[in-house]
Amino acid sequence: MPRKLSLLLLFFAAALALVHAAETPPTPHLVLQGEVHPSQNQTYFEIPFEVPSGVHRITVYFENLGKADHTVLDLGIADPVRFRGASGGNKDHFTISETDATPSYLPGTIIPGKWKLQIAVPNIRPNVTSRYRAEIYFNRVIDDTSFTEQPLNDRPGWYRGDLHMHNAHSDGSCPSQSGKPAPCPLFFTVDAAARRGLDFIAITDHNTTAQYDAMRELQPYFDKLLFIPGRELTTFYGHANLFGTTLFVDYRVGTPQVPDVNTMFRSARQAGGIVSINHPESPTGEICMGCGWNPKTPADMGLVTAVEVVNGGGGHGFFPGIHFWEQQLREGYRVTAIGGSDNHHADWPLDKVGSVGSPTTVVHAQNLSVAAILDGVRAGHVFLDFTGSRNKLLDLNAHDSAGSADMGDDLEPQKGETLTLKIHVVGCEGAMVGLLLDGHESSDLPQQSISSTDQTLDLKWTADGARHWLRAEVRDSQGQLLLFGNPIYIGFKH
């Protein structure tokens, strides 16, 4: 199916899903409602509610139904032990979890027992009776997986991001006011990503979840840059990024709690996240403890979604992971090739290798939301831009008599059938585009020169009935990689 038609159908499906969701909104676990009277002017009152055991997040929606009559109700909350924050009248909803909370509120353990909404009444007019309504949700999935409830962009398209970065919450560093090395505030990393023109980022500090609180604070301001919950599960036997959940995942491989990496990977999946193996071919030892991928128990690659085939390398150049990734393909695993800057220095100029967004992972997604970006990664609808540009594009499509496939998709041609291949390249005039069959150049698929800034090239290839993966890449006149595409999978279903 051509991409345009496929996107149109997906758009209508998404629209129908949104309509259905609007018709059947999630049901709150508790609804608290009542009246406010003039006698309560400039007083405080509490609305108690019970939190059961097993809750790790509370989300509150509060509606002051007397606004039109100039009634003012200021909102706060306390758990059974302590005050957890107050937002006055400037927020109509908030969330609190073990790892993060809406600004104005404190993250921490969600203690079971009696919690209290604390309401101040700065103003209610005489002879006015007002009402309020509070909806309480426990463990709401959208709040565990994203820092925004709505997509930042509703349109399908190519979205550019960086899936591997560090800041003060682990080992990110930048000069202090006096020029001394200091833990670098997360804001500087996010600001660098915005200046790069990225659409999404994952802050992947080592093993910690502390960064999520700062990310929830910054997301409303950076409303064109999607924050994806991430962390780097850093073990003695290799590193892996976890995306898409704020829930804790135990990383202590080799302990009774986590005997092997597969236990960790299963926990990540159970928490709703996806896993990418980081810089698998990098050196390991004192120069970089545990950086190479060498688990004592072989990893079940069926639990892995992606492999970081290129890494900014913290100033040491790219650590390649391409050979490791290709080996997984040879063994029949469909893992997506992604990249990450692994940036530890947000102050680096954007033209430096390993700066924020260098390299850039470009994902075709149905919208700019955490769920859609991660679905794009799962599907393999991804190419890598080693130049960190804002406009370069690499798209590959193949079709036969039965159907069509884009990067990450399957095609099942008959033996002897001729496939039509279309490569769409933008922003690479003067470079060369090549197709690799099973990771190698083929005389049947010669390199093509790119003569314009927006060009589509057509090739033919005859299927031989065997299983193959076919991908495109773009190199400059010196042979340096510019763009790296994920494969179309041929014959993998039989």
**What pLDDT, in 10s, does the model give residues 93-152?**
999 999 999 999 999 999 999 999 999 999 999 999 999 999 999 999 999 999 999 999
Q: In which band, very low, low, confident or very high, does the pLDDT at 15 lie, cut at 50, 70 and 90?
A: very low
Contact 122, 72 (CB under 8 A): yes
Residue 9: per-residue pLDDT: 41
Torsions phi, psi of 407, nearest 5?
-50, 130
Q: Which tens digit of pLDDT belongs to each residue from 152-173?
A: 999 999 999 999 999 999 999 9
Q: Which tens digit of pLDDT belongs to each residue from 198-241?
A: 999 999 999 999 999 999 999 999 999 999 999 999 999 999 99
Residue 237: per-residue pLDDT: 95
Residue 284: per-residue pLDDT: 86
- Average pLDDT on 415-441 reads 96
Q: In which band, very low, low, confident or very high, does the pLDDT at 25 lie, cut at 50, 70 and 90?
A: low
The span from the CA of 13 to the CA of 223, in Å, is 25
Q: In which band, very low, low, confident or very high, does the pLDDT at 289 lie, cut at 50, 70 and 90?
A: confident
Q: Which tens digit of pLDDT belongs to each residue from 310-325?
A: 998 433 445 679 999 9
Q: Would you identify the CATH topology of the domain 147-490?
A: TIM Barrel (3.20.20)
- Average pLDDT on 451-476 reads 96
Radius of gyration of the chain (CA): 25
What is the rounded (10 degree) CA torsion for 47, 48, 52, 58? 30
Q: In which band, very low, low, confident or very high, does the pLDDT at 476 lie, cut at 50, 70 and 90?
A: very high
Q: In which band, very low, low, confident or very high, does the pLDDT at 402 lie, cut at 50, 70 and 90?
A: confident
Residue 319: per-residue pLDDT: 62
Q: Which tens digit of pLDDT belongs to each residue from 66-96?
A: 999 999 999 999 999 999 999 999 999 999 9
Per the model's pLDDT, the better-predicted residue between 5 and 60 turns out to be 60
Residue 312: per-residue pLDDT: 85
One-letter-per-residue 3-state SS of the chain: CCHHHHHHHHHHHHHHHHHHHHHCCCCCCEEEEEEECHHHCCCEEEEEEEECCCCCEEEEEEEECCHHHCCEEEEEEECCCCEEEEEECCCCEEEEECCCECCCECCCCCCCEEEEEEEEEEECCCCCCEEEEEEEEECCHHHHHCCCCCCCCCCCEEEEEECCECCCCCCCEEECCCCCEEECCHHHHHHHHHHHCCCEEEECCECCCCHHHHHHHHCCCCCCCEEEEEEEEEECCEEEEEECCCCCCCCCCCCCCCCCHHHHHHHHHHCCCEEEECCCCCCCECCECCCCCCCCCCCCHHHCCEEEEEECHHHCCCCCCHHHHHHHHHCCCCCEEEEECCECCCCCCCCCCCCCCCCEEEEEECCCCHHHHHHHHHHCCEEEECCCCCCCEEEEEEECCCCEEECCCEECCCCCCEEEEEEEEECCCCCEEEEEECCEECCCCCCEECCCCEEEEEEEEECCCCCEEEEEEEECCCCCEEEEECCEEECCCC
Residues in contact with 431: Cβ distance below 8 Å, sequence separation at least 6, in sequence order: 425, 449, 450, 474, 475, 476, 477, 482
Q: Would you identify the CATH topology of the domain 30-139?
A: Jelly Rolls (2.60.120)
What is the rounded (10 degree) CA torsion for 83, 89, 90, 92? 80
Domain extents for the chain?
30-139, 147-490
What is the side-by-side strand order in the sheet with 404-406?
404-406, 393-399, 418-426, 454-462
Average pLDDT, the chain: 93
Q: Name beta bridge partners: 422.
A: 397, 458
Residue 401: per-residue pLDDT: 87
pTM of the entire predicted model: 0.93
The span from the CA of 55 to the CA of 77, in Å, is 16
Place of tokens 């992604």: 338
Asked whether residue 444 carries a pLDDT value surpassing 60, the answer given is yes
Q: Name beta bridge partners: 44.
A: 120
- Average pLDDT on 433-462 reads 95
Residue 17: per-residue pLDDT: 42
Residues in contact with 101: Cβ distance below 8 Å, sequence separation at least 6, in sequence order: 84, 85, 94, 95, 107, 213, 216
- Average pLDDT on 448-466 reads 95
Residue 130: per-residue pLDDT: 98
Residue 24: per-residue pLDDT: 53
> How many of the other CB atoms lie within 10 Å of CB of 240?
27
Asked whether residue 12 carries a pLDDT value surpassing 80, the answer given is no
Find the distance separating the first CA and the last CA of the chain, reported in whole Å. 20
